[in-house]
């Protein structure tokens, strides 16, 4: 995303988070830009019954949490480190100065935000009533093609747990396991040493 030199030149600091550590909470006012140097972050919400719904998972080089910063509103979800994670944190004011001075960086962020909006539109449709197998294939195909740029059959090794797939699709873990086996029987995915390939 934004080059490290530009981040540091504009006042970013590199912060380390332990696995499970909260980076920001739902309903907290957005004040900073976050870009991952290494590790993984999930953005999530919890239903009134305590069930987790994962809004997205972000990894090396990706940013997260920008829309509320641009809109000057609170975060609609929590952000939590999934692994030991190192993140560049830049104040909102620092980010806006950087984007005015470097329009090409602004374009990068606009493209990333557009891609996330596209993903949200797809998932909103999928969660509204599609069958579990279809929901799982949609999320896997989105990640494979749009995020990782892969095309060849079974070239995408899914680095999500069954629980994470369930949380991304609004399904139960047991349903994800059953649907995964059905998809394998149909030749839509491969399971090798408990790892899923699409």
Beta strands in the chain (DSSP E): 13-17, 22-24, 32-38, 40-46, 52-59, 63-64, 78-81, 85-91, 190-192, 195-197
Quick one: pLDDT at residue 153?
A: 93
Rounded to an integer, what distance in angstroms lies between the CA atom of residue 101 and that of residue 4?
15
* Predicted local distance difference test score (pLDDT) of residue 139: 86
The 10s digit of each residue's pLDDT in 122-175 is 777 766 667 899 889 988 998 888 778 899 999 999 999 999 999 888 889 999
- Angle (deg, nearest 10), helices 162-169 and 132-141: 100
Q: What pLDDT, on a 0 to 100 scale, did the predictor assign at position 39?
A: 96
User: What are the structural domains, with CATH classification, of the chain?
Assistant: 4-103 (2.60.120.10), 129-197 (1.10.10.10)
Q: What is the pTM of this model?
A: 0.72
Q: Which residue stretches of the chain have pLDDT < 50?
A: none
Q: What pLDDT does residue 146 have?
A: 78
């Amino acid at each position: 995303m934004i080059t490290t030199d530009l981040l540091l030149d504009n006042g970013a600091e590199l912060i380390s988070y332990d696995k499970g550590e909260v980076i920001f909470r739902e309903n907290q006012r957005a004040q900073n830009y976050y870009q991952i140097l290494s590790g993984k972050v999930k953005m999530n919400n919890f239903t009134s019954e305590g069930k987790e719904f994962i809004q997205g998972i972000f990894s090396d080089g990706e940013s997260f949490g920008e829309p509320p910063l641009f809109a000057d509103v609170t975060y609609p979800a929590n952000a939590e480190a999934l692994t030991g994670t190192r993140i560049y944190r830049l104040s909102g004011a620092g980010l806006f100065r950087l984007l005015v001075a470097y329009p090409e960086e602004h374009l990068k962020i606009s493209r990333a935000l557009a891609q996330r909006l596209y993903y949200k539109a797809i998932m909103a449709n999928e969660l509204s009533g599609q069958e579990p197998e279809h929901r799982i294939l949609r999320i896997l195909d989105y990640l494979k093609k749009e995020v990782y740029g892969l095309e060849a059959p079974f070239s995408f090794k899914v680095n999500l747990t069954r629980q994470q797939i369930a949380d991304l699709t609004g399904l139960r873990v047991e349903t994800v396991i059953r649907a995964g086996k059905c998809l394998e029987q149909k030749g839509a995915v491969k399971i090798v040493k408990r790892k899923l390939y699409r």
